[in-house]
Amino acid sequence: MPELTLLVLAAGVGRRYQGLKQIEPVGPSGEAMLDYAVYDALLSGFTRVVFVVRADIEAVFRGSIGGHWETRVPVSYVHQELDRGLPAGFRVPPERRKPWGTAHAVLLCREAVTTPFAAINADDFYGRGAFRVLADWLGTLTGADPAGPDEFGFVGYPLKRTLSEHGPVSRGICTLDGDGYLREVVERVKIEKAGGAARAQLSPGRWLALTGDEVASMNFWGFTPGVFRHLETGFADFLAGCGRDPEAEFFLPSAVNDMIAAGQARVKHLPTGETWFGMTYPDDLVSVRAWIHDLVDRREYPANLRAGGGTIRG
C-alpha cells in the first residue's frame, strides 16, 4: 500500500455551534471528535496527518489535540488565511471575514501533501470501517491516466442519518450513475427533517422535497495530488465570479461537481455500513457524547484514546 495522508479541515469558525467544535471534548478522557478520526485513520493505514487551521487557533489546537499526535505520527500544519493561495492581482475585499471555504483549504495543502490522501472535516465522526474502505481504494490507484480524467472517490452516507434534531444543516446531495460513480453533487445549505423524510430550502417559502435516502457527501473525499491543479483553476474562476460576495464560499462538493462536469475527474462512491454523526448546534453535543461513551463501553475505543505514547491498537 502506498503512503497515505489524512488531511483534516479544522479552520472553520463554527458560527452555528458558537465555539470551536474542533477541540470540543466529547470522550471520557477529554477526547475531541477529531481524536477518534485520527485514531481510526492510523489503524486503517494512513501514515501522516496534515491539519488545516487558522493561524489564530494553532496554539490552542496544538495544545488540545495536535500535540498528542505529534509523538505518534508525522504531523504538519497548514494555515488557511484569506490572503493565501490567491491568484495574482486579486485583493481580499475589506468586508470579507469568513474563510474562503473547504476547497480553498484543500488547495492550500498542495505543497504539504504529495501522496494520495483523504480529506475530512475535523468535527465529524465517520467510523473506522469508512477509513478502511477509503484507504483500500486509494491503495489501488496507480496514478492519473494522461489520456483520461483523474480518479477520485468519496464515502457517502444516507441523508436521513446525517440530519440534526436542532436545526437545518448543509449537505452535498449526490446523484450516482449505474456504476456507482458520482454524476452530480449539489450543495444544499438548509436541509431539515420533514416527518420521516427531509426538505431543502431553495429560497424563502420554496422547498425541495427529499426522501431522506439520498446519498449525502459529508466531506469524506479520497484524492490524488492531481486534484490540486483542478482546484487552482476552480478557485480562480470562483473568485472571478463570486470574490466580491463576503458570504460566498468555495465549497469542496461544488468544486468536485465542476471537475465532473468538465470531464476532469471520475469520482467513485465507496459505500460503508458505518454511522456518521457530528455537531452542528450546541444541543447536538449531548447525543454525540452519549454515542461516544457507548462505543467506549462496547470496547470499540479505549477509555483514554490519547494514552499509551506511540501505541495504536484495534
Q: 161-214: per-residue pLDDT in tens?
A: 999 888 899 898 999 999 999 999 998 889 999 988 999 999 998 999 999 999
Quote the percentage of the chain above a pLDDT of 70: 93
Asked if the structure places residue 101 within a domain, the reply is yes
Cα–Cα dist 147/96, whole Å: 40
Contacts of 109 (CB under 8 A, 6+ apart): 7, 50, 52, 78, 228
The number of CA neighbours under 13 Å toward the Cβ of 195 is 4
* C-alpha cell belonging to residue 164: 440534526
In this predicted structure, which of 130-144, 184-198, 268-282, 299-313 has the lowest mean pLDDT?
Answer: 299-313
Phi, psi of 248 (to 5 degrees): -70, 145
Given this model, what pLDDT does residue 7 score? Answer: 98
Q: Kindly tell me if the per-residue pLDDT of 147 is higher than 70.
A: no
In sequence order, the 6+-apart residues with CB closer than 8 A to the CB of 168 are 189, 190, 191, 192, 201
CA 90 to chain centre: 27
**Residues 33 and 24 sit within 8 Å (Cβ to Cβ):** yes
Residue with cell 495543502: 109
CA separation for the pair 97, 170 (Å, rounded): 20
Q: pLDDT: is 310 or 255 the higher one? A: 255
Is 38 part of any domain?
Answer: yes
184 contacts: CB under 8 Å, gap ≥ 6? 174, 175, 257, 260, 261
Weakest-pLDDT range from 57-61, 94-98, 146-150: 146-150
Q: Is residue 310 included in any domain, yes or no?
A: no
Average pLDDT over residues 69-84: 94
- 225: how many CB neighbours lie within 10 A of its CB? 17
pLDDT score of 24: 87
Which pLDDT does position 22 carry in this prediction? 77
Is pLDDT of 309 > 50?
no
In a domain, 136, yes or no: yes
- Which CATH number covers residue 142? 3.90.550.10
Burial per residue of 37-60, b for 16 or more beta-carbon CB atoms within 10 angstroms, e otherwise: bbbbbbebbbebbbbbbbeebbee
Question: Do the strands 197-203 and 117-121 form a parallel or antiparallel pair, or are they unpaired?
Answer: unpaired
> What is the C-alpha to C-alpha distance for residues 122 and 172, in angstroms, rounded to an integer?
17
CA–CA dist 150, 302 (Å, integer): 39
Instruction: Establish if 226 belongs to a structural domain.
Output: yes
Number of domains in the chain: 1
Q: Is residue 311 part of a domain?
A: no
The span from the CA of 120 to the CA of 168, in Å, is: 21
Q: pLDDT by residue (tens digit) across 208-231?
A: 999 999 999 999 999 999 999 999
* Domain-embedded: residue 314: no
Could you list the residue range(s) of the whole structural domain that residue 224 is in? 5-297
The pLDDT assigned to 12 comes to 67
Residue 148 has pLDDT above 80, yes or no: no
Mean pLDDT of the chain: 90
Q: Note if the pTM is more than 0.85.
A: yes
Question: Does any domain span residue 106?
Answer: yes
Give residue 23's pLDDT.
83
Position 69 scores a pLDDT of: 93
pLDDT band at 310 (very low <50, low <70, confident <90, very high): very low
